[in-house]
Amino acid sequence: MPEQLETLEPLVALSKRRGIIYQSSEIYGGLNSCWDYGPLGVELKRNVKEQWWQDLVTTREDVVGLDASILMHSRVWEASGHVSGFNDPLIDNKESKARYRADHLIEQHIKNLRDNGKSEDADRVAAELEKAINNPDALYEIIINEEIQDPVSGSADWTPVRQFNLMFKTHFGPTEDSGSLVYLRPETAQGIFVNFDNVTSTTRIKLPFGIAQIGKAFRNEVTTGNFIFRSREFEQMELEYFVYPENVEEHFEEWVQARFDWYVSLGIDEKKLRLRPHSEDELAHYAASCSDVEYLFPFGWSELEGIADRGTFDLDQHIEYSGKNLSYFDQPNNTRVVPAVVESSAGVDRTVLTLLTDAYWEDEENNRTVLRLSPKIAPTKVAVFPLFNKQGMPELARRIYEDLHTRFATSYDDGGSIGKRYRRQDEAGTPYCITVDHDSVEDGTVTLRDRDSLEQIRVPAENLAEVLEKRLQTREVKLELE
Ligand code: GAP
C-alpha cells in the first residue's frame, strides 16, 4: 500500500516535473499562493469538476446549474455579512515587521504550553481565546499578558490587533471612488442566492431543489501555504439545496453523508477521510449546524468541504437589503415560504490536492513513483508506445492511437527507452499502457500493461477499445496491488 507522504515536497516536485501544477508567474520569481495548472493538471481538475457536475446536476432531477459573474453589486456583500464580518485579526511585530494572525499565534502558544506539560495554563488560555475570538482588543490583551513572542525574531513588541477584510477590492469603470468599489467574490454561493427568484420563475423546479455552481473565488488570505491547499485564487463547487424549513435537519444529515460518500467514490482512501461536526463557537455567522469533510494530509486533518445548514439567513438578508420578495410560492399549500438552505461547499483545488496526496506512491520494489489515481479521474487513460521507431511499429502504434484518442484521453510516446516511458506514465497516473512490438506487426496483438499490478496481457489491437472500455468502467475505483 502507498506510504503516507510525510511532507508535500515530493508531490510539489512531481507536479512540476509532470506538468500538473506550476507556481504562478514563476519566471518573475513567482506570485505567492497562486498556482497554474499545466497540461496534465488541467485535465485532472476538469475531471473533478465534470464528475461533480455529473453527480450533483446532470443525474439529478432536483438540481439545476448556474454560472453567475464574479463581479457583483457591492450590496450583495453587505447583505451576506462579508463586508462587516469576513475578517482575520492581524497583528504586526514592530521589530521583525512580520505579520501574523493573532488567533493563530495564541493557538501556537497553547500548543507550546501543552507540549511543555502546562496543561492547566493551556486550558486557561484556550478558554480566554474562545471568548476573545471576534474581539481584537481581547486578542491583543492575551498576547501581551502571555508575553507571546514572534516565532521568528523572539520579539514581543507588537502593534494592536486589527481586523483585516479578506475580500479583494477593485473599481468598476474609470473612477476610483467609493461609489465604484466592487469585490472579487470570496464565494460562489451569493451568486446563487441573488438569482433565486430568476431560477424559480424561469424553471419548473419545485421544493426541495438545488442550484449548483462551479467557479473562481478570491480571498486575500493572510496565512497561506501547503501548496494548493490555501491559495488566494481558487475554485469552488457549491450547491445550495433549498428545502421546507421544517425539514432542514433531515436534509442536512442526508447531504453530509452523501458528500462524504462522494469523496470515497473518487477512490480516496476512506480511512483518511472523516466527518467533523463544528462545535457551537466555530459556527459561521450564518450556520445553524455545519460538518466538514476532512482528509488526513501530511500537515494533519484539514477541511475539504463544509456542509452547512444556513437556515433562511441568506434569502432573508437579500430580501431585506434588496427590498425584493424572494419567497417561493408553494402551490400545494397556496402559500409563500422563504426556504431554508443546506449548502455543500467544496474546493476544487483541495479535491485535486487530496487526490494527488492519496494517490502518491513510491514503489521501491520497482523503483518508480506512481500516482494511483482512479481511472475515472486520471488525466490520461491510456498511453501508446512503439517499442522501436522502425519495422512498422510506429505506423501501427499511430493507427492505434488515432483510433483510441477519439474515445479516451490517450497519449502517444515514442521518446526514450520503454522503461522510461512506463515511468513517465506511472508518474502521470495513466492506468494503462499499450506497447506495439515486433510480434504486433506480425500477428496484430499488443501488450496491455496495468499501472498498479504491472500485469501485462496480450490483446488483439482491434479489440483494444472494447477491452479498455470494460476495464475503465468495471475496474475497482480503489486499485489494490495484487
Ligand atoms: N460558501 C461557504 C464557503 O465558502 P468556506 O468554508 O469558506 O465556505 C468552502 O469554503 C470551501 O472552499 C472549503 O472547504 C475549501 O475547500 C475551499 N476554500 C476556501 N478557502 C480556500 C482557499 N483559500 N484556498 C483553496 N480552497 C479554499
What pLDDT digit, counting tens, does each position of 159-184 carry?
Answer: 999 999 999 999 998 888 878 899 99
Residue 274 sits at φ, ψ, to 5 deg, of: -150, 160
pLDDT at 464 over 80: yes
Helix axes 136-145, 102-115, angle to 10 degrees: 40
For position 296, what pLDDT does the model report?
97
* 303 CA closest ligand 1 atom index: 14
pLDDT-above-90 percentage for the chain: 85
The residue whose C-alpha atom lies closest to atom 10 belonging to ligand 1 is 345
Q: How far is CA 431 from CA 21, 152, 328, in A?
A: 20, 45, 48
Cα of 335 to ligand 1 centre, how many Å? 36
Cα of 236 to ligand 1 centre, how many Å? 7
Q: How far is CA 198 from CA 62, 119, 276, 377, in A?
A: 16, 55, 35, 34
For position 1, what pLDDT does the model report?
46
* 232 CA closest ligand 1 atom index: 23
For position 470, what pLDDT does the model report?
87
* 351 CA closest ligand 1 atom index: 16
Residues 6+ apart with CB under 8 A from 462: 444
Distance, in Å, from the CA atom of 158 to the CA atom of 98, rounded to the nearest integer, reads 10
Q: Letter for the amino acid at 189?
A: A
Q: Which of 192, 236, 239, 351 to mutate to test the pocket of ligand 1 (most atoms within 8 A of CB)?
A: 236
Q: What is the largest CA-CA distance in the chain?
A: 83
Strands 162-165 and 181-183: unpaired
Which cell is 193 given?
442566492
Strand partners, 209: 242
The residue whose C-alpha atom lies closest to atom 25 belonging to ligand 1 is 230
For position 284, what pLDDT does the model report?
77
Distance, in Å, from the CA atom of 126 to the CA atom of 183, rounded to the nearest integer, reads 34
Helix axes 39-53, 348-359, angle to 10 degrees: 110
Q: How far is CA 99 from CA 116, 141, 158, 189, 222, in A?
A: 26, 17, 10, 30, 8
For position 222, what pLDDT does the model report?
81
* 308 CA closest ligand 1 atom index: 2
The residue whose C-alpha atom lies closest to atom 22 belonging to ligand 1 is 230
**Sign of the C-alpha dihedral, residues 130, 131, 135, 138?**
negative
Res. 475 pLDDT band, cuts 50 70 90: low
The residue whose C-alpha atom lies closest to atom 18 belonging to ligand 1 is 347
pTM: 0.91
pLDDT at 359 over 50: yes
Q: How does the average pLDDT of the chain come out, rounded?
A: 93
Cα of 188 to ligand 1 centre, how many Å? 10
Q: Which of 88, 240, 345, 352 to mutate to test the pocket of ligand 1 (most atoms within 8 A of CB)?
A: 345
Which cell is 273 given?
477521510
Which cell is 77 given?
456583500
Distance, in Å, from the CA atom of 122 to the CA atom of 419, rounded to the nearest integer, reads 55
Q: pLDDT tens for residues 80-107?
A: 999 988 988 999 999 998 889 999 899 9
pLDDT at 480 over 50: no
Distance, in Å, from the CA atom of 235 to the CA atom of 305, rounded to the nearest integer, reads 12
For position 281, what pLDDT does the model report?
73
The residue whose C-alpha atom lies closest to atom 21 belonging to ligand 1 is 230
For position 131, what pLDDT does the model report?
87
pLDDT-above-70 percentage for the chain: 97
For position 283, what pLDDT does the model report?
80
Least confident of 1-10, 212-221, 460-469: 1-10
Pocket of ligand 1 (CB under 6 A): 187, 189, 219, 221, 230-231, 234, 236, 238, 303-306, 343, 345-347, 349-350
* 350 CA closest ligand 1 atom index: 16
pLDDT at 288 over 80: yes
For position 471, what pLDDT does the model report?
85
Q: pLDDT tens for residues 205-251?
A: 999 999 999 999 999 998 777 999 999 999 999 999 999 999 999 99
**Sign of the C-alpha dihedral, residues 275, 280, 284, 286?**
positive
pLDDT at 193 over 70: yes
- Average pLDDT score over residue span 463-468: 93
Cα of 201 to ligand 1 centre, how many Å? 30
The residue whose C-alpha atom lies closest to atom 19 belonging to ligand 1 is 347
Q: Name the CA radius of gyration of the chain, rounded.
A: 26
Cα of 192 to ligand 1 centre, how many Å? 16
Angle CA 377–429–15, to nearest 5: 100
Burial grade of 363 (CB within 10 A; 0-12, 13-18, 19 or more): middle
For position 130, what pLDDT does the model report?
85
249 close to 310: Cβ distance less than 8 angstroms: no
Distance, in Å, from the CA atom of 482 to the CA atom of 178, rounded to the nearest integer, reads 64
Look at the chain and count its residues: 482
Q: How far is CA 452 from CA 140, 151, 425, in A?
A: 54, 44, 11
